[in-house]
Every structure is written in C-alpha cells, then in structure tokens.
Amino acid sequence: MAHTGKRRVTIEGVPQRVWREDGLPFGLLTRHINGDPQTGAQTLVVDVPPGWSMPEHWNTADLELLVRAGDLTVAGRQCRPGHHLFLPSGTGLGPISSEGGASLIFWSDSRFEVRTGEPPTPAKPLSETVDVFDPANWSPVQEAFAGVTDTSSHGDLEVPTQCIRLRRVEDTGKDTILFVLPRRFAKTALEFHHSTEEIFFLGGWCATDPEHVYHAGEYLCWEPGVIHGVVSGWEAICLSKHHGPLTSPQIPLGATSVDAER
C-alpha cells in the first residue's frame, strides 16, 4: 500500500494542525493531505511563518518539496514559488529559514525524523528545478520518457502534453512529474496506472472524465487500476507523484475495470 486512495480534496478545506516533531522548531502548521501508515510516508501542505528558522540537520527520509508561495532558504538556496527540491535521506539540510513566510507541498517517503551530527552519505543525488513554471524547462512527455516507460496514451495528440521529470525513476520506479496541458488539450484514450498516483492542481483546469473537473488548489489520489479519460484541460498545471513505475496503458473505450496487478 502507498497512500490511501482519495477521490478529491480541496487543500484549503483541510484543517491545519501544529507540527510537533523532536528536533523541529516550533511554528510550522501542516495540512495532512494523505499518508501511508505502514511506511510513515506523508503528503502535507506546510505553512512556514515569517521569521521561522532551523539550524543544520539531516533527515532519515527522502523528502520532496515545492514552494507554492513565499520564500524559503535551504542551505543557501533561495527558493521562490515554483522551486522544487528532492532531498534524499542523509542530505545535510540547513540552515533553513523564511523571511516572509512560505507555503510548501511536502512529501516524505517514510517516517520523518530530524537528526543532527554527521550525516551519512546520501544514497541518491539531490535534484532541483528552480522554476517549474518556466516553459524553457518543459519538454514533450514522449521525449522526456523515451525508452523508460509506456507513454502510448500520450501519442497522436493534436495538442501534446508537456512535462518536467522532477524526480527521476529509481529502482522503485517512483517518479514526480509536472504535467502541463495547454489550451484545448484533449486525450480521448482511456488509461490507468499500475501504481498509486497523487496529483496537486496548480493552475488552469483539468477534467479526468466528463464529470470530474479539477481547479488550482485541489488534490486527488487514485489507487492502482482507476480508469480515467477522456482527459481534457485548459492551461492546466498538475504536479503528479507516482508511487511506482509510470505506466499508462491504453484500454478500450467503454472498459469499466482492469487488472492492475499485471
């Protein structure tokens, strides 16, 4: 299991709570969007107050964050809205601070635990994209995933999907992708995924079928095997996390169920 399947969440409608963890300075507020109780993984929206800071440390989990609003300084990196960081376990972090406050989309792949002292050697390389909203960072989906996975459902589109592969496929197949659906986007094929998928909607609108339309500030989570399509959108920007290999096999129009275990 990797996160609970939830059809739809409006982020601002999720209650805030004070984030209390050993070694974590007081002041952060979180919205618990989703999680996996078996691994301790969490999907959060974190609000950082103006003037908050944290000294150098490291963490036992792989972490990802995207700055939604405000400013955040991480080990000398000046992060503004649209800045994405993947921070693997063992990465030396800090000092971390925010001058004017910030709102973050935040993932931890396992139990979040702050550590001090000498960090171990990170098992994976740190990666960052300074501005996910810059079209210069976007590329066609089939080009970005050439030779990596099945992207047949993204072929023969009148208006092609663009993306940024923010976190590359690893041994587990986990991938974090920014999808950009231009104006008049339409994909008539039905598809599903073999792994859990989470999506934060950052801009525009996207319909995953004729009845379900998502706007900026909303979130969805699908368990493996959920059929979606016809997909359409208009200037939609979607932050998508797959908890296994990204596969999007096409299935016949009219299909109502699939075997996600194959």
pLDDT tens for 71-85 read 999 988 999 999 999
Give residues with Cβ within 8 angstroms of 54, minimum separation 6: 24, 25, 94, 95, 96, 97
Position of tokens 């598809």? 191
DSSP letter (8 states) at residue 245: -
pLDDT at 256 over 80: no
**pTM value surpassing 0.75:** yes
Predicted confidence band of residue 9 (pLDDT cuts 50, 70, 90): very high
| Residues 123-127, mean pLDDT to the nearest whole number | 88
pLDDT at 262: 44
